[in-house]
Each structure stands twice: as C-alpha cells, then as structure tokens.
A and B are shown apart, each in its own frame.
Chain A
Amino acid sequence: MNDDAVHLGPDELDLWLDGSLPEARTSHLETCPACQQAAEETRDIVLQLSTLPRIAPERSLADQVMARVQVGTPAIQHLTDEDLDLWIEGALPARREAHLRDCPDCQALADAERVLVLRLQQVPLFNPAPGFSNRVMDRVDIPVTSFAGAWRFWRTRVFANPMSVAAAASAAVVLGGSLAASAAWAAAHQDQITGVGPWLLAQGQQLWAQGLTFATATLEQQSWYAPLRAALTPGRLAAVAATTVALYGAGVLAMRRLLALPTPQVSRALP
C-alpha cells in the first residue's frame, strides 16, 4: 500500500507539531487537504491549551493538604532483641540509647534482660566425680612416640593389672630360660654347630635332585604325555598363552566393575 494514500495518524500529527515528521509523510501532508485541516486543528488546540491562564487557589494548596494530613510523632520503635544484645555488650547506638533513656517499658525490659544474663553467667560449674581424668586417660590411646610414651603404655596397660603382670612375667621367664638354655647348649657344642651348615646344604641338594628325577620319570610314564607333547607346537603354545592372558585380564576388569563402590547418585537411587 502506498504511503501517499494513507492519512496522518495522531502520532504523526505529534511529530509534525514537533517538526520531526518524515519527509515522505510531509509530502503527503502538502498534497492532502484532509490532513492539512486535521493538522491545523491540532495546532490550534495546542496553542489554545498553552495560553490558558494559571488560576491561583484562594488558600495555599499546601495549607489545604496539610490541614487534612494527620501529622503525629513517628511510630515508637521499642528495643528489639538485637538491640538488647547490643545493649548487653555496651554497643547500643546513641539513637537507641536515647530511646532507652526515655522509654520506661524498654528500661524495664533491659533491666530484666541484664539480671537474667547476670544470673546465667553466675550459674555454677559442676565437678565430675573424683578420678574423672584417670578414667578418661585409661581409655585414651596416646601415640607412642617416645620412651616416656612406651613406659606409659606398660605402666597403664600392663603393670596396672595383676593378671597382666603375671602373664608378662611368665612369658619373660619362658623366653629368658629358652634363650639361656640355647646359649649354653651352643657354647658346649661348637663342633656340631659349625658342621651343621654344610651337612644341611648337601642334604638339600640331594633331595632336590632326587625329587626332580622322580617327577620327570613319572610324567613320561603317563599315557597322555606323548600325544600332548606332539600336539604342543611352539605356535599353539603361544596361542594358548595369549588366550590365557586375555581371559585373565578380562576377569580382572569384570571383578573391578563388580566390586566398585556405588557413586553418590547410584547410592541415592538404591532402595
């Protein structure tokens, strides 16, 4: 639709009054008698409105308004719990202090609060039954980082109990007696002790050789040994080894998945 055929709207008339109507629309205005008449009427109205006289009220409007507004003292802000905290700590702001001085209700509240806090601060501390410290220490595991710590362990865990002392003494006697008897026997049988080492070594070598010979001979006598040996070519042996390794690896991975701890999300989803 051609803009030249459209008459000016109210917004465009405002633009024309401001002198900011676009050129295309101005050309329409210049050629359209209807729009020219509307523009002239609008300008006349605006001119008339702008020349209206100002009428002063008989009384000051402010006086009339204020006569109907109830001007009173601001709402009383009594001390809040937070204010009482500050007051107890001696940190109440001066403005609130001023209110406290003038307000009997807040004074009574603050006095009651102060008395209460003083009473709470004066409640006695109670003593646990005698020996409390020892009873606790008997069940505390102090890290043994020094000789003193080790001594404490023996003193509190072993020597404190007659049964423990008896057991420890028995163990010490048995161990000490065994050690002494061993030392005495060794001193009296030096020759035997020096000959024991080579004899044990020779015996071991002989047993190992006999065992190996027996195992080989037994294996060769088995009926399945010869066909198995013929079937196991180096290539097949390698294939079997590779398969075994692969199966083992897969098994380990599967076990890891099965034994993994559930994530938090999974844990929440569990019944």
Chain B
Amino acid sequence: MAERSDLASQTDQEIVALAREGREAAYRELIRRYERPVFSLILRMVRDRQLAEDLSQETFIKALNAIATYRPEFKFSSWIFKIANNAAIDHLRRREVDTLSLDGAPNATSQEDIEATALQVGDKGETPLAELEARELGTAIERAIGQLRPEYRSCIMLRHVEGLAYEEIAQLLELPLGTVKTYIHRARHELRGMLAGLRD
C-alpha cells in the first residue's frame, strides 16, 4: 500500500522506468491511471461494452509487453491512446460498426445482453428532475457522439474529453495538423447541429 501511494505521486515517465526494472506495482499503477480513459475512449468508439473491455485489455497487454520499446521523449498517455485508437479503428474497419448504440451492442439479442452492453450514463446523485435532465443530456450527447464518423469521434474525444493539444492528436493519429483541425471543427459543427434543441 505504501508503495502504491509512493507511485501515485510520480510522473508517468518515472513509473515507466520502474516498470522496465520489473516492478509489478509500476505496471499496476499505469493500468490504474489509464484504464478509465482508455476504456471510455474505446467504448465510445465501438459502442459495445464487452468488446470495449476486450480491446482495452488488448491495448494494455500490447503496451505493457512492449514497454521496453516505449520512447520516453513522448508522453505515455499519447502512446497508449494511440494503441487504443488503433485497436478501435481496426475493429471498426473490420466490422464497419460506427453508429451504435446506447441501447446495447448490435449483436445483443436478449434483454440481458442489451443491458450488459449498453452505455451507462447519468446518475450523479442529483435531484430526480436534475437527474432526469442530466440523463437526457448525457444520452443526447452520447448519441450525438455516436453519430459522428469514427475519425471525427476519436479526434473530438481526444481533444475535448482527454484534453490533448491539436499537435499531439496529429502526431498520435499520424495525420496532418490541418486535417485534425478540420475534423474537430466539423465534428463540433455537427454536434452543435445535433444538440441545438437542448438546454443551454
């Protein structure tokens, strides 16, 4: 426990250096830091909880098994997001699933499967009315994000949910900076249009 609290105060680069020395706690710390962002990014890309779980595991296993090849001059977050995004995009290219679903995975047939694979939004301990509104807003924005093209979706998530700079996104996605800006501007334009009827 003491080791974990020590690690929590260290930078990603320091944690990676410890992982390279074979410290299991360092590996676990990297997972702890990035499991939610990576899982959320992939889930919003593939819209299927079980699949997102599998792709997130693949992402971490691939990244951590290749930790010796990681170049410390780049941010660890950019590196792992790149692997995660590639995993999601590769899957979407294979399956061509791009606009589903708050209502469960496309292959979910039973009510149990639908509930197991659906996105869970809302419920932040607000009043019933606020909760209802928050749920509706959350649902609407999740739906809107889900209707974006996958490349717009990953760009907008990395920019505004993960807070990456345009240059980082361009490097991460291996796209020209101008293309990234265009994707994000178009994504915001489309989202504004889709959310225009909601409360301010």
Contact = CB atoms under 8 A, between A and B. Distances in A.
A257 B74 CA distance: 40
Give the most central of A126, A135, A145, A146: most B CB within 10 Å: A126
Interface string A53-73: 000000000000000000000
Interface string A142-155: 11111011001000
Contact of B53 (A128, A139, A140, A149): A128
Interface in B4-56: 19-24, 27-28, 31-32, 35-37, 39-40, 43, 52-53, 56
B87 interface: no
Given A121-B160, A126-B119, A137 B24 contact: yes
B36 A126 contact: yes
Given A132-B35, A133-B32, A123 B142 contact: yes
Interface in A91-148: 111-113, 115-117, 119-121, 123-129, 132-133, 135-137, 139-146, 148
B57 A112 contact: no
Please report whether the interface of chain B is mostly helix, strand, loop or mixed according to DSSP: helix
Please report whether the interface of chain A is mostly helix, strand, loop or mixed according to DSSP: helix
Interface residues of A, number: 35
Interface stretch (B58-66, B93-101, B106-114, B168-176): B58-66
B126 to A, nearest CB: 13
Contacts of B120: 126
Given A125-B37, A126-B40, A119 B141 contact: yes
A116 B200 CA distance: 9
A135 B57 contact: yes
- Interface size on B, as a range, is 35 or more
A29 B40 CA distance: 95
Given A128-B53, A136-B31, A123 B138 contact: yes
B196 interface: yes
B43 A126 contact: yes
Contacts of B37: 125
Given A113-B192, A119-B195, A136-B61, A125 B36 contact: yes
A3 interface: no
Interface of A: 81-82, 85, 111-113, 115-117, 119-121, 123-129, 132-133, 135-137, 139-146, 148-149, 152
19 contacts: A112-B192, A113-B192, A116-B195, A117-B188, A119-B137, A120-B191, A121-B161, A126-B36, A127-B39, A128-B52, A132-B39, A132-B57, A133-B35, A135-B57, A136-B64, A141-B65, A142-B24, A149-B24, A152-B24
Interface of B: 19-24, 27-28, 31-32, 35-37, 39-40, 43, 52-53, 56-57, 60-61, 64-65, 68, 119-121, 137-138, 141-142, 145, 156, 160-161, 163, 181, 185, 188, 191-192, 195-196, 200
**Leading 5 A-B pairs by shortest Cβ distance:** A120-B160, A145-B22, A81-B185, A125-B36, A149-B22
